[in-house]
């Protein structure tokens, strides 16, 4: 049985590493991140943080302005539901640099929480679970190589998130926390609170609805497949109740306590009209600002950029870089053709359908690792399906880089498992290292999409087979003992 993860033990064993890491992050935050909040009216380009777009909206909630119309000094506005801006209300009394510094410190705590929850989930999956009989021996579900790939893939997006004052890590933490509480509860109420935690990131920013829906759908379907198991059924009920009541609290009750019921509903309607209703026309409306930028690596934009680049290389179209330098290029590029836009839309919808099929198969197997895999696939699917997935959004790869290889090993696909996490790591590093070119051709977005589709092929092939008993897997991995030697040992 694997020992439960202890952060205190981790801290004691690697005290010097932690000391250097924390000191380095604090120095970097003070010397670089904090200064990104500087406001100079004659040089607005020196202001390089997204945070003030959120704190400006927070102030607007209370001074009579429309929070969905105000912008920071760079012209960036607020595009999220009211909850996130309201949570930043304590910062509005400080100057912009102090706001950035305080949010950065809070984000470091959330980053640590993500790391701890990943370790706890990995530890729980490597040992017996509350939903399966304990095995005398278990195969380690994650390897040091997986953690190395995770670090290589997520480090730069995470630093980018911290530097820009973004919310990616704040979305990831409650997803991991809620999953652990539901699948590995210490007491029954943990399952309900896990559902409440899962509802939180969806109210911050709508995109995490996909991993939450896949996990919750998997829990409910597992209960239907295993009707005779009262524990499984109760887990589905408690987690669903937690998500439902959590959604009610995060979307309506808590904002209404601050703004009033009618005002909150009106703001939600405004947000829906400005953001959700225009989600499929982001390029035409420029929702979110510069959505055709090389930094947007959603499949919609990455495929758009790659197609334009190929057309330019083969002399079928104009210079693809015109979309970055000329407003007149909008609507005139080869990939603006209706058939191209339709093809990318169909690829995104097919990805959703494929994820739904994976949910059906994995819920029937119903092991904790199958359900964690659903969450992981949903986190990657969000990057592919959403029309906007900037580079820092790719912190959402983190659970996939640990638990997809773990699941493949459980299916006996050790070679594939060892290679799988290093592919996104390679493309993430390439994206940040050569953004001018790799962003131009949509490398990160296109490769992430193909990587997800390749994983889904494996899931569809193996997901219909029963889950492998870890004790049996261990036996198959151990060297065979000659029969005569076995008899001698028994004698």
pLDDT digits (tens, 9 = 90+) for 392-402: 999 999 999 99
Instruction: Look at 451 and 3; give whichever has higher pLDDT.
Output: 451
Kindly state the DSSP code that residue 331 receives in the 8-state scheme. T
* Domain boundary pick from 274, 304, 322: 274
Measured distance CA(5)–CA(7) in Å, rounded: 7
296 pLDDT tier (thresholds 50, 70, 90): very high
Q: Which residues of 421-442 are buried (b: 16+ CB within 10 A; e: fewer)?
A: bbbbbebbbebbeeeeebbbbb
22 pLDDT tier (thresholds 50, 70, 90): very high
The confidence score (pLDDT) of residue 475 equals: 31
Q: What is the CA radius of gyration of the chain?
A: 24
The confidence score (pLDDT) of residue 487 equals: 39
Q: What is the mean pLDDT of residues 314-332?
A: 82
The confidence score (pLDDT) of residue 480 equals: 37
Task: Give 334-368 pLDDT, tens digit per residue.
Answer: 999 999 999 999 999 999 999 999 999 999 999 99
Structural domain contains residue 153: no
Q: Which helix (H) or strand (E) holds 200?
A: helix 189-204
Task: Give 243-280 pLDDT, tens digit per residue.
Answer: 999 999 999 999 999 999 999 999 999 999 988 887 76
Give the number of domains in the chain: 3
38 contacts: CB under 8 Å, gap ≥ 6: 46, 47, 96, 97
331 shares its domain with 220? no
In the block, tokens 């790869």 appear at 397
For residues 316 and 458, is the Cβ–Cβ distance under 8 A?
no
pTM of the model: 0.90
462 shares its domain with 322? yes
311 shares its domain with 440? yes
Q: Count CB atoms within 10 A of the CB of residue 411.
A: 18
Measured distance CA(166)–CA(50) in Å, rounded: 7
**pLDDT surpassing 60 at residue 481:** no
298 shares its domain with 346? yes
Task: Give 174-199 pLDDT, tens digit per residue.
Answer: 999 999 999 999 999 999 999 999 99
82 contacts: CB under 8 Å, gap ≥ 6: 61, 67, 255, 259, 264, 267, 268, 271
112 contacts: CB under 8 Å, gap ≥ 6: none
CA 220 vs. chain centroid, Å, equals 22
Task: Give 198-225 pLDDT, tens digit per residue.
Answer: 999 999 999 999 999 999 999 999 999 9
254 shares its domain with 283? no
372 shares its domain with 463? yes
218 shares its domain with 257? yes
109 shares its domain with 191? no
449 shares its domain with 310? yes
- Provide φ and ψ at 71, rounded to 5°: -135, 165
Task: Give 92-136 pLDDT, tens digit per residue.
Answer: 999 999 999 999 999 999 999 999 999 999 999 886 544 444 343
What range defines the domain where residue 27 resides? 7-128
302 shares its domain with 406? yes
Structural domain contains residue 62: yes
Kindly state the DSSP code that residue 33 receives in the 8-state scheme. I
**pLDDT surpassing 60 at residue 36:** yes
């Amino acid at each position: 049985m694997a020992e439960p993860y202890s952060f205190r033990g981790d801290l004691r064993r690697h005290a010097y590493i932690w000391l250097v890491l924390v000191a380095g992050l604090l120095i970097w935050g003070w010397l670089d991140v904090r200064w990104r909040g500087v406001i100079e009216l004659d040089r607005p380009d020196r202001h390089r943080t997204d945070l003030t777009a959120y704190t400006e909206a927070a102030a607007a909630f209370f001074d009579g302005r429309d929070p969905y119309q105000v912008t920071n000094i760079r012209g960036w506005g607020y595009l999220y539901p009211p909850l996130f801006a309201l949570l930043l209300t304590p910062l509005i009394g400080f100057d912009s640099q102090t706001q950035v510094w305080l949010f950065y410190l809070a984000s470091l705590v959330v980053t640590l929480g993500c790391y701890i929850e990943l370790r706890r989930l990995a530890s729980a999956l490597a040992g017996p679970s509350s939903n399966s009989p304990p095995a005398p021996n278990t195969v380690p579900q994650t390897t040091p190589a997986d953690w190395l790939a995770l670090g290589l893939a997520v480090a730069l997006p995470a630093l980018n998130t911290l530097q820009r004052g973004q919310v990616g890590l704040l979305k990831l933490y409650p997803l991991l926390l809620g999953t652990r509480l539901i699948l590995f509860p210490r007491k029954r109420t943990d399952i309900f609170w896990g559902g409440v935690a899962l509802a939180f990131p969806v109210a911050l920013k709508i995109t995490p609805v996909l991993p939450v829906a896949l996990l919750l759908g998997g829990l409910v379907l597992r209960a239907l497949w295993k009707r005779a198991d009262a524990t499984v059924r109760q887990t589905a009920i408690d987690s669903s109740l937690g998500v439902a009541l959590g959604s009610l609290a995060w979307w309506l009750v808590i904002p209404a306590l601050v703004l009033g019921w009618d005002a909150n509903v009106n703001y939600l309607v405004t947000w829906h009209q400005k953001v959700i209703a225009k989600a499929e026309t982001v390029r035409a409306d420029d929702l979110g600002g510069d959505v055709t930028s090389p930094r947007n690596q959603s499949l919609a934009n990455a495929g758009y950029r790659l197609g334009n680049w190929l057309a330019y290389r083969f002399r079928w179209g104009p210079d693809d870089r015109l979309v970055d330098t000329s407003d007149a290029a909008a609507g005139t590029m080869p990939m603006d053709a209706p058939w191209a836009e339709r093809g990318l839309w169909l690829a995104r919808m097919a990805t959703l359908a494929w994820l739904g099929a994976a949910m059906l198969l994995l819920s029937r197997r119903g092991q904790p690792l199958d359900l964690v895999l659903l969450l992981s696939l949903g986190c990657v699917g969000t990057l592919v399906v959403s029309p906007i997935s900037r580079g820092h959004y790719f912190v959402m790869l983190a659970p996939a880089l640990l638990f997809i290889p773990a699941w493949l090993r459980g299916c006996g696909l050790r070679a594939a498992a060892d290679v799988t996490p290093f592919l996104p790591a390679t493309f993430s590093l390439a994206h940040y290292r050569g953004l001018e070119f790799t962003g131009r051709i949509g490398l990160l977005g296109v490769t992430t999409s193909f990587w997800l589709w390749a994983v889904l092929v494996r899931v569809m092939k193996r997901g219909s087979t029963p889950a492998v008993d870890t004790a049996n897997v261990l036996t198959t991995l151990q060297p065979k003992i000659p029969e005569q030697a076995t008899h001698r040992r028994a004698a």
